[in-house]
């Protein structure tokens, strides 16, 4: 139960942080290339950097539920995707890492495309 509370609270914090950071970045960089999703890009990069740091200190019992799943899960799930891909590579599972990246891109983008009725 304690883990669920940490995940829920962290998720709320991460979602608000994503909204604030993406909005701030979009408002400042819109002049460079209008309609480009600058905020989402920055959030994804920051989230990936932060999950790498969190993975390095994951021996603490609260890091995974609060920080990695909660805060960073609410902030961006791209950080989880990045960590899982790097873990596969570090374990010498290059084919699995490449398959994961390819399948994620094709299936996830395809799911959005189909569900948004843009086919």
SS (H, E, C) the chain: CHHHHHHHHHHHHHHHHHHHHHHHHHHHHCCCCCCCCHHHHHHHHHHHHHHHHHHHCCCCCCHHHHHHHHHHHHHCCHHHHHHHHHHHHHCCCHHHHHHHHHHHHHHHHHHHHHHCCCC
Task: Please state the pTM of the whole predicted model.
Answer: 0.79
Number of domain units in the chain:
1
Predicted confidence at residue 119, as pLDDT, reads 55
pLDDT one digit per residue (tens) for the chain, 119 residues: 799 999 999 999 999 999 999 999 999 988 888 888 899 999 999 999 999 898 888 788 999 999 999 999 999 988 889 999 999 999 999 999 999 999 999 998 888 888 887 65
Predicted confidence at residue 118, as pLDDT, reads 63
Predicted confidence at residue 95, as pLDDT, reads 95
The domain containing residue 16 runs over which residues? 2-115
Predicted confidence at residue 80, as pLDDT, reads 86
Q: Are 62 and 78 in contact (CB under 8 A)?
A: no
């Amino acid at each position: 139960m304690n883990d669920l509370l940490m995940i829920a609270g962290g998720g709320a914090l991460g979602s608000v942080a994503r909204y604030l950071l993406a909005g701030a970045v979009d408002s400042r960089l819109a002049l460079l290339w209008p309609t480009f999703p600058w905020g989402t890009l920055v959030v994804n990069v920051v989230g990936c950097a932060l999950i790498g740091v969190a993975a390095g200190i994951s021996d603490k019992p609260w890091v995974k539920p609060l920080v990695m799943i909660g805060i960073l899960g609410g902030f961006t799930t791209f950080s989880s995707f990045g960590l899982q891909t790097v873990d596969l590579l570090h374990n010498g599972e290059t084919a699995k890492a490449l398959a994961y990246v390819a399948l994620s891109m094709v299936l996830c983008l395809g799911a959005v495309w189909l569900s948004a009725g843009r086919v």
